[in-house]
Amino acid sequence: MTAWFKRQKRKVTTTEKKSVPDGLWEKCPKCEEILFKRELIKELMVCPHCLFHFRLDSGEYLRILFGDGKYEELNPHLRSADPLSFKAKKSYPDQLKAAVVKTGSADVIQTYVGAVGKRTVVLGVMDFSFIGGSMGSVVGEKISRAVDYAMQRHLPLIMICASGGARMQEGVYSLMQLAKISAKLARFSKSGGLYISILTDPTTGGVSASFGMQGDVILAEPGALIGFAGPRVIKQTIGEDLPEGFQRSEFLVEKGFVDRIVHRNEMKETLGKIIEFAHDGEVAVA
């Protein structure tokens, strides 16, 4: 055997593999870069290499839009009932309790009044990590009250959407929320109110079929899955391959369902411009 197949040095030193504490690093699912979590948080959970937008919880959106400014939560006391005595693997009340512990929130949506730039707005933020962002009667009631609050005070309404659809544990009560919210938003629109919806990953099912798509202006984060039924269900139903990028924000802008894609670090500024434009019609949205 020739020399170069033989290990010449007897003692090969290897560096000890350092263990990485859990949660310190995050792998980008799009470009597969390993990202330092602390840096990623500074970048509003957007990959600096490929601009992939990681999902955010509602608290992080509050920091993005309200910053250090004052804001107040509206109707924080609302809780889900269990009208169907629903039980699958777990009972519905147990599932709710577990979700509250996991997220620290009382339900999927939190509604607030606070200032974005110079204007006071009413804001709703959904959290997908709370039972898949499912829309039950609490979501319906909170949005309904937020719309009333905005209507009475002539304030713009902003909804940050993230949802897998209706909450099956509440059955038909959940589906009724589509009609309830849609009716309220129609009244808000007739009264001259400005409603901006922001679709984040994912916005599907009953939310896309109601207030997600009912904004006067519909914005979306880059690469978000937006649709009614998921791509797998559609593919199985029609038995055909779906086009590249189907149901992603970019595809929906092209088809006219979404007005504009907004990068997370431009969200506050863009909202400020739209609100100013609607208010006095003079500021151009670049």
- Which positions touch Zn ion (CB under 5 A)? 28, 30-31, 47, 49-50, 52
| Residue closer to Zn ion (CB basis): 32 or 254 | 32
* 259 vs 192: CA distance, rounded Å: 20
| Residue closer to Zn ion (CB basis): 76 or 222 | 222
Query: What are the residue ranges of helices labelled H in the chain?
Result: 37-42, 58-66, 92-103, 137-153, 171-190, 205-208, 231-238, 249-254, 267-280
Intra-chain end-to-end CA distance of the chain, in Å:
70
- Token pair, residue 78, equals 């609302």
Closest separation in Å from C-beta 253 to Zn ion: 21
Do the beta carbons of residue 40 and residue 24 sit within 8 Å?
Answer: no
| Residue closer to Zn ion (CB basis): 40 or 229 | 40
Task: Name the nearest CA neighbour of 125 among 150, 104, 142.
Answer: 142
Task: Give the C-alpha distances (Å, rounded to integers) separating 282 from 51, 64, 274, 277, 286.
Answer: 31, 25, 10, 6, 12
Task: Name the nearest CA neighbour of 194 among 258, 278, 280.
Answer: 278
| Residue closer to Zn ion (CB basis): 87 or 263 | 263
Closest separation in Å from C-beta 36 to Zn ion: 13
Closest separation in Å from C-beta 34 to Zn ion: 10
* 48 vs 46: CA distance, rounded Å: 6
| Residue closer to Zn ion (CB basis): 27 or 154 | 27
| Residue closer to Zn ion (CB basis): 54 or 112 | 54
Closest separation in Å from C-beta 249 to Zn ion: 16
CA 223 to chain centroid, in Å, comes to 12
Closest separation in Å from C-beta 51 to Zn ion: 7
Closest separation in Å from C-beta 200 to Zn ion: 17
